[in-house]
Amino acid sequence: MKALITGVNGQLGKALLADAPAGWTCVALDRAALDLTDTDAIARMVDAEQPDLVLNAAAYTAVDRAEGEPDLAHAINACAPEAFSKALGNAGRLVQVSTDFVFDGARGHAYLPDDIRNPQSVYGASKAAGEDAAGDKAIIVRTSWVYAAGGANFVRTMLRLMRERDELRVVADQIGSPTWAQGLATTIWGLAAKDATGIWHHRDAGIASWYDFAVAIAEEAHAVGLLARIPSIHPIATSEYPTPARRPAFSVLDVAATRGVLGDISAHWRSNLRTMLKEEKALG
């Protein structure tokens, strides 16, 4: 069996490659190997490799920058999965990774896979369009707040700022769930093995605000020796930290269906954070 993995230099792409089950040959594709804005190149790649599975882990994820680059965000997040779907036809399956940002955050309790979407940003709208473009045979996996050792993410940004500053102010009224990339990769491979189709949700157990997450990062990083001291961290409202893109206030994903198919394999986000920080320390 052969899988194409896009975004292989990203944190999820690396995790998918590392977690590939026995019997799978993986073709690792970075930006240099495949330009996702070139739909003809996508068609040629699929035709040349004839994959059984495409794991589309690449995405335009610069949420605020997307407000000024809507065409580029749409090309990568919506046109690319459509091109993969068309090129695969009935010969292979597409796994399209999506986001909690397809929801508006107004619901107040966890979102089910079939709940009505109402994205509030260019990024969220482009990912919703990507879900539609992936087609009925695709596996669509929504997730949230992804991080991994060595990646570009909130955890590593906080570590840098915590070393540089004595005080930080972090938004406390946006609620979601941190997600370790390794656990997400395990779920994606598991859904592929089950021949699942449709929309599925994955996140780590538990919920948090960005402030809660930052406090945990400081405490756990200090415990493993990544921080010499814990800075003062103050909760603030979203209105005190305006950004170009609007973010959902409550974007927790209901994962009951996914866990029902794969079993309860997701650890609490704080436990996974601790594991990631130990990996981060090992990277030096």
Please confirm, yes or no, whether 123 is among the known catalytic residues: yes
Any alpha helices (H) in 11-153, and if so which ranges? 11-18, 39-49, 70-74, 80-88, 122-134
CA distance 33 to 62: 21
- List the beta bridge partners of residue 179: 146
The DSSP code for 114 is T
**What size, in residues, is the chain?**
284
Sheet holding 53-56, edge to edge: 25-29, 2-6, 53-56, 93-99, 139-143, 198-201
Question: Which strand (E) or helix (H) includes residue 95?
Answer: strand 93-99
CA distance 94 to 53: 6
Task: Please pick, among 123, 147, 211, 241, the residue that the annotation labels catalytic.
Answer: 123
Any alpha helices (H) in 120-249, and if so which ranges? 122-134, 154-164, 181-193, 210-223
Per the CB < 8 A criterion, the answer to whether 188 and 258 are in contact is no
Q: Read off the tokens for 134.
A: 């992936």
Q: Give the alpha-carbon dihedral of 158, 211, 11, 186, to 10 degrees.
A: 150
Q: Give the alpha-carbon dihedral of 216, 217, 218, 219, to 10 degrees.
A: 50
What are the residue numbers of the active site? 123
